[in-house]
Amino acid sequence: VSLRHEPVLLDESLARLWTGPGLYLDATLGYAGHAHALLARHPEARLLGGDRDPVALGLARTRLAEFGDRVMLVHATFAELPAVHAASGGEPLAGALVDLGLSSMQIDDPGRGMSFMQEGPLDLRMDATRGEPASTRLAHVTEEELAEILRTLGDVRGARRLARAIVNEAARGMLPTTRALRETVDRALGGRSHPRRYAQVFQALRMWVNDEAGQLDALLEWLPDAVRAGGVVVTLAYHSGEDRRIKQALRGRVVSDVPRRLPVAETPRASSPWESLTARVVRPTAKEEAANPRARSARLRAFRRKSA
């Protein structure tokens, strides 16, 4: 296994995830780095694993084959997990892991157009078997909608100007590739080769094409109720907006295990069945960040459902 697939904050997440024998959910299998370590370290763990990316799922299936019937893998988005879990018997979860965002595999595959640094079709889907590529969707979006997407999901400056240029070119079929998009960004906003600007634009479009916010909301709506008493939810977010959503979703339900001075309005409800295991967000060490660039913006949080 090359360093590129190194799971982020592995020991830190597994130490919180393991709560004893039972069924664990990995909603974001990817290359199954976390899942493999969980199953290898804890022979009494069983796993329900999902990923929306069929390529990742295939790799995870091969990698986890050694664990036989302790593992059940499904091609599923977050929004589909409630039905998948119910169909599998609905056993309350001992723990759930959500490692958001992209895998190195997805970023490094030029065929997906996820990286502005690589030449490829402007697709941007995590699952190329469903929906439409970004290049097609951009031909149908309105200038106003796209400006809002660029602004809210990418903090793009000059969002309106750029949206106008993108919509015009996409409608004429002139935005088939990552390079064409970069050139449009340069033309619309002036200057050349601004990596940060490209990154913001690609991120916004990727989050939109994959409905990442809607997916996360669907997951956070369901997951807390699927976890058994004493069970945990462990999350890894790479984007401050997602980290905030996670905190907010569990805030009303969370009572921190460490006393904190909070404004009254933020004091969690005393009746909450959830407690935070990470009063402070957990970040990778400088050493891990140096060894694994994907770890750089990672923020780990963990929440436990109190025993009845």
Ligand X SMILES: C[S@@+](CC[C@H](N)C(=O)[O-])C[C@H]1O[C@@H](n2cnc3c(N)ncnc32)[C@H](O)[C@@H]1O
Among 52, 112, 125, 301, binds ligand X (CB under 6 A): 52
**Of 103, 98, 107, 106, the residue nearest 77 (C-alpha):** 98
Residue 7 in the binding site for ligand X (CB under 6 A): yes
**C-beta of 18: minimal distance to ligand X in Å?**
16
Among 56, 64, 93, 181, binds ligand X (CB under 6 A): 56
198 contact partners, CB below 8 Å, separation of at least 6: 116, 182, 185
**C-beta of 115: minimal distance to ligand X in Å?**
15
Residue 51 in the binding site for ligand X (CB under 6 A): yes
Among 103, 115, 135, 203, binds ligand X (CB under 6 A): 103
Which three-class secondary structure state does DSSP give residue 296? coil
308 contact partners, CB below 8 Å, separation of at least 6: 229
Which three-class secondary structure state does DSSP give residue 132? coil
With residue 124 as reference, give the H or E element that holds it. none
Q: By rule CB under 6 A, what count of residues binds ligand X?
A: 19
The amino acid present at 170, given as its one-letter code, is: A
Interaction with ligand X in 13-42: which residues (CB under 6 A)? Answer: 28, 30-34
User: Cα-atom radius of gyration of the chain, to the nearest Å?
Assistant: 20
> Is residue 9 within 8 Å of 285, Cβ to Cβ?
no
Binding mask 206-235 for ligand X (x = CB under 6 A): ---------x--------------------
Interaction with ligand X in 254-273: which residues (CB under 6 A)? Answer: none
Among 18, 24, 78, 202, binds ligand X (CB under 6 A): 78
34 contact partners, CB below 8 Å, separation of at least 6: 7, 10, 13, 14, 17, 26, 97, 99
Binding mask 116-155 for ligand X (x = CB under 6 A): ----------x-----------------------------
Q: Would you tell me which residues interact with ligand X (CB under 6 A)?
A: 7, 28, 30-34, 50-53, 56, 77-78, 99, 101, 103, 126, 215
